[in-house]
Amino acid sequence: MSLVGIGVSYASWSQSVDINATVTTGNFDFQITGINVDNNNGATITAAPYDGHLWYVTVSGTYPGWIGYITVTHKNTGTVYLKYNTFQVLSLAGDLALQQGYTLKFYPGAYPTPGTANIWGTLYNLQTLQYYDSWIGPYQIKLAPGDTHASCVSLELDSGITDHYGSAVTFVFEMTAIQTTP
């Protein structure tokens, strides 16, 4: 009988409130808005957006020690802040010696400032997913909604790679972003 009294007392002292709400954090969208070949140094570079965050590049007619520059512009077309997250060479075709001989460097700004490359590695090695935060040092790139950012990308052919004039390398490069705080 005493247990029944405790249950009745507890029931009369407790209350509950149901809250129904929708929380919206905004939308996330990251797009390539421009790719420009800045300097091909006598070679042929074809670079174009593949979709929103992928770009397609074909390089041919290079020579030992060759360097070419491409500017890639991204835009935060969403309503939340974002930062660069991962990068990877997704598809790579062409002469294996060239795949291993080209070094890709990704700079945080529109010009190749020495000592500031955020990403570097051979096209062949960059086929493994890389996390931007582990490479960036002080050069983290964040974009507010509506902001754009241009980054310089250099491709450099090792001076020891000879006898491959006229050979081509084609690759698809992916850059992703994640939501972040301002």
Domains of the chain (ranges; CATH) run 27-179 (2.60.120)
* E strand or H helix that includes residue 32: strand 30-39
- Considering all CA atoms of the chain, what is the largest pairwise distance in Å, rounded to the nearest integer? 98
Over residues 142-160, mean pLDDT: 92
**Residue whose C-alpha is closest to residue 88's, from 176, 168, 180, 179:** 176
Whole-angstrom Cα distance, residue 175 to residue 43?
25
Over residues 1-18, mean pLDDT: 59
pLDDT range class, residue 134, cuts 50, 70, 90: low
pLDDT range class, residue 30, cuts 50, 70, 90: confident
Q: What's residue 135's pLDDT? A: 61
Residues ≥6 apart with Cβ < 8 Å to 70: 35, 36, 37, 38, 45, 47, 57, 152, 153, 154, 155
Whole-angstrom Cα distance, residue 150 to residue 39?
16
pLDDT range class, residue 137, cuts 50, 70, 90: low
pTM for this structure?
0.79
Whole-angstrom Cα distance, residue 14 to residue 37?
69
Taken in order 117, 123, 125, 127, the sign of the CA dihedral is: positive
pLDDT range class, residue 146, cuts 50, 70, 90: very high
- Full DSSP string of 78-122: SSS-EEEEEEEEEEEEE-HHHHHHEEEEE-SSSS--TT--SEEEE
163-166 long-range contacts, Cβ below 8 Å, gap at least 24? 164/62, 164/95, 164/97, 164/98, 164/101, 165/61, 165/62, 165/63, 166/60, 166/61
Taken in order 77, 28, 52, 118, the sign of the CA dihedral is: positive
Q: What's residue 35's pLDDT? A: 92
Using one digit for the tens of pLDDT, what is the confidence trace for 64-118?
Answer: 999 999 999 999 999 999 988 888 899 999 989 889 999 998 888 888 888 787 7
Over residues 157-161, mean pLDDT: 91
Q: What's residue 4's pLDDT? A: 52
pLDDT range class, residue 14, cuts 50, 70, 90: low
pLDDT range class, residue 17, cuts 50, 70, 90: confident
Over residues 163-177, mean pLDDT: 86
